[in-house]
Structure 1
Amino acid sequence: MEETISLQELFGVIKKRLIMIISITVLATVIAGVISYLFLTPIYQSSTQLLVNQKETKDSSIYQNNQVQTNVQLINTYNVIIKSQAILDEVIKQLNLDYSVAELTNKITVASETNSQVFTVSVQDKDPEQAQAITNTIANVFQEQIKKIMSVNNVTVLAKAELGDNPSPIKPNKKLNVAIGFAVGLMLSVGIAFLLEFLDNTVKTEKQLEELLELPILGVISEVSQGNVEPKLKKFKLRKGA
């Protein structure tokens, strides 16, 4: 026999397990909040902007008539060079960092807009002051080293990394994590509620008994306990056939 469940029955299951649903949801939200606020290390980001000039030099034929396209290609090359060992080794040396080149590379992000001569170098670190120092040092070292690497002098630091009075971490996003914990807890608790209802094979209503045995209910006999006029237990009387 094909079983169907109505919207009223769905809400009935939720209402029946409401305390469990609320408890699991609150627990998941609290756990997400505790982990986000107490255990996850805040990560700060510092950024600087570098400008690639359009000026052509006598010692280089890298610029062509189509300057916009040339600059875009040049910036793509600079994006690779700025994260190379030639640049980062010098940065580590100047700042006396306890990072390898690979570890420092993972902290650096280089981004540029389409058809733009400006690209942005961002560094993430758990120490906001160190993030700022690394960012500015990378810009200065790159500006000096690119003259030797590509024999051009066309990079200008457009905006240095600045450290505000009260820097805010970019991650973790504590409010978002709490919201995710709430959503996960709610979905998990509702899923458990319906799973428990599905696994519960006890008969509690006349309708369930009628559907289970495929027999019509002729009447209901109420058992009344002594001193109580309210029915205590329902007994069902069934008859085979119509």
Structure 2
Amino acid sequence: MELSDYIRVLRKGWLFILVFVVVGVGIAAAYSLAKAPTYTASAQVFVSTETSDNANDLAQGQNYTQDRITSYVGLVTTPSVLQPVIVGLHLDLTPIELAKQVSAAAPLNTTLLEITAKSSDAKQSADIANATAESLTTVVQTLETTDADNNVSPVKLTRVQDAVVPLSPSSPNVPLNIVLGLLVGLALGIAVAVLRQTLDTRILTEHDVEAITSAPIVGGITFDPKSASRPLIVADDPFSNRAEAFRTLRTNLQFLNVGDDADLVSRGEDDEDGTSLRGRSFVMTSSLAQEGKSTTTANLGLALASTSSNILVVEADLRRPKLAAYLGLEGAAGLTDVLVGRVELSDVVQRWGTTNLYVLPAGRVPPNPSELLGSKRMAKLIEMLEGQFDYVLYDAPPLLPVTDAAVLSKVTDGSLLVVAAGRTHKNQVKAAVALIEQVGSRVGGVIMTMLPTKGPDAYAYGRYGYGYYGGEQADQRGKNKKRLRARGARGANA
């Protein structure tokens, strides 16, 4: 993932992050308020050894003291030291319980011993620390006495700092707890947001498509909640951003793979350079139903027809045809009737208004759609249509439920795969691409539909347009544009 991807994840998961932060801070605050305050007091004891003034004796005494002080640290929490403290302060505790409240430490390379006591009562914590230091002094003197007659101990403990009554509790540390709660909540929120994004297998952005197929993204159509009532946005609202997106798609489609002469040249009339031209045919399909395939086909056909080209849209979905209904045309007779020889092509091809868009409806729903679309008669029909029209768009069924689109893509220039953002899953797109490649065809381009207009995944106008060509490709694009214009003029005169 790139930095922009992480930023997008954070923008999408900001609500989760905020909730976890609030919960973390709330738990930290509740814990701080519910926990009884604890006060801490410390006393310091200096450990020394009685030696002569000789330098060697002083050095040996210093080393001896530092060696012994480690033992005194462990001695502090023993019953022999704590029992007198309990008796002297009248504590209702056992030595084991008091040991949990008392600790000792010796700073490195010093002969100081620091005794710390904790208690829920501020004064009591100081009393325990001082009493423990005093008791330790007595116990050490007793244990270290070697001359029974003189009762003299070579080690001397002197309290150099008395514990004072603390003014504020050492625990809970409310500011620290709240900061920790905030950081933990923030970390958990980010982790949940990233995990949620990782587990989300839907196609959301162009990066998801690029990770599946090398086919270029030739168009991006935003989601329109009113598309059901006005499917032909190019005709109904030609100045809208959505209509402009279809015109951008048209432009990208016209110059798709301009370096491949086989996509432009095959048969038909010769252009001014002596090169024979034919129309281009694309299968419009998707992974599953309800991805906007038919409305995309209809609007793309209208956008192409506005350039004075002769465009044919073939309703090749022989199972659930919708295109004729979207365009408001009669669909009782059409492709199936032509394939079985019942009618002539010219009898069922309908012109949409006064435009250069022609439509071949599906006709009657046959019992064997795949066989009809894969027949030799269909292949000959495709070849004939490419000779008569500049562009032929086949509105085919989805790829995963049936094989009709894969069969058609084998005998056309390729497929334009419609992918609905936020609805189609990555494994579905992978399977659809694999089906097309298995029949020896290819995905010519991907059209993303239902792109969001708000939020971190919002589609920006022009994002997929005018970005695929430059340098020599731009020069080649200009040459092919002249060819297309000349061919359109000849078609119109004919």
Corresponding residue for residue 183 of structure 1:
183
Corresponding residue for residue 60 of structure 1:
none
Residue number among 37, 47, 64 corresponding to 1:52 in the alignment:
47
Provide the identity percentage: 25
Residue number among 79, 86, 99 corresponding to 2:80 in the alignment:
86
How far residue 217 of structure 1 moved from its aligned partner, in angstroms, is 5.3
3-state SS, counterpart of residue 49 of structure 2: coil
Contact 1:29 1:178 in 2 (8 A): yes
Contact 2:125 2:165 in 1 (8 A): no
**Greater alpha carbon shift after TM alignment, 146-155 vs 6-15:** 146-155
Hey, what's the Cα distance between the residues in 2 that align with 1:75 and 1:133? 23
Counterpart residue identity of residue 50, structure 2: K
Query: Residues 105-144 of structure 1 correspond to what in structure 2 (within 5 A)?
Result: 105-144=99-138
How far residue 198 of structure 1 moved from its aligned partner, in angstroms, is 2.4
Contact 2:39 2:120 in 1 (8 A): yes
Counterpart residue identity of residue 120, structure 2: K
Corresponding residue for residue 309 of structure 2:
none
Aligned residues: 230
Instruction: Name the larger-Rg structure.
Output: 2
Unaligned runs of 5+ in 2: 146-152, 231-235, 244-290, 298-415, 418-440, 445-494
Hey, what's the Cα distance between the residues in 1 that align with 2:159 and 2:221? 90
Counterpart residue identity of residue 35, structure 2: L
Contact 1:112 1:118 in 2 (8 A): yes
Hey, what's the Cα distance between the residues in 2 that align with 1:78 and 1:220? 77
3-state SS, counterpart of residue 42 of structure 1: coil
Hey, what's the Cα distance between the residues in 1 that align with 2:207 and 2:165? 70
How far residue 53 of structure 1 moved from its aligned partner, in angstroms, is 3.2
Q: Please tell me whether residue 162 in structure 1 is matched to residue 156 in structure 2.
A: no
Deviation per residue, 1:4-40 (Å, 9 max, x gap): x33222222221222232222222122222212x122
How has the CA–CA distance of structure 1 residues 221 and 128 changed in structure 2, closer, same or farther, with 3 Å as cutoff? closer
Contact 1:43 1:127 in 2 (8 A): yes
**Greater alpha carbon shift after TM alignment, 113-122 vs 206-215:** 206-215
3-state SS, counterpart of residue 118 of structure 2: strand
Counterpart residue identity of residue 201, structure 1: T
Deviation per residue, 1:128-187 (Å, 9 max, x gap): 1111111111122233333333222722222211115xx122223322222221122112
Corresponding residue for residue 193 of structure 1:
193
Residue number among 21, 27, 32 corresponding to 2:23 in the alignment:
27
Hey, what's the Cα distance between the residues in 1 that align with 2:3 and 2:122? 53
Counterpart residue identity of residue 36, structure 2: T
How has the CA–CA distance of structure 1 residues 207 and 124 changed in structure 2, closer, same or farther, with 3 Å as cutoff? closer
What is the aligned-residue RMSD (CA, Å)? 3.2
Q: What is the TM-score with the length of structure 1 in the denominator?
A: 0.78
Hey, what's the Cα distance between the residues in 1 that align with 2:2 and 2:180? 29
Counterpart residue identity of residue 134, structure 1: I
How has the CA–CA distance of structure 1 residues 162 and 218 changed in structure 2, closer, same or farther, with 3 Å as cutoff? closer
Hey, what's the Cα distance between the residues in 2 that align with 1:65 and 1:12? 67
How far residue 56 of structure 1 moved from its aligned partner, in angstroms, is 4.4
Hey, what's the Cα distance between the residues in 2 that align with 1:55 and 1:115? 19
Hey, what's the Cα distance between the residues in 2 that align with 1:146 and 1:156? 11
Q: Please tell me whether residue 9 in structure 1 is matched to residue 11 in structure 2.
A: no
Hey, what's the Cα distance between the residues in 1 that align with 2:207 and 2:141? 86
Contact 1:50 1:159 in 2 (8 A): yes
**Greater alpha carbon shift after TM alignment, 6-15 vs 228-237:** 228-237
Hey, what's the Cα distance between the residues in 1 that align with 2:141 and 2:71? 14
Residue number among 141, 153, 159 corresponding to 1:147 in the alignment:
141
Deviation per residue, 1:21-72 (Å, 9 max, x gap): 2222222122222212x12222211111112233249xxxxx8861110111
Q: What is the TM-score with the length of structure 2 in the denominator?
A: 0.41
Contact 1:220 1:234 in 2 (8 A): no
Contact 1:72 1:114 in 2 (8 A): no
How has the CA–CA distance of structure 1 residues 145 and 221 changed in structure 2, closer, same or farther, with 3 Å as cutoff? closer
How far residue 207 of structure 1 moved from its aligned partner, in angstroms, is 5.9
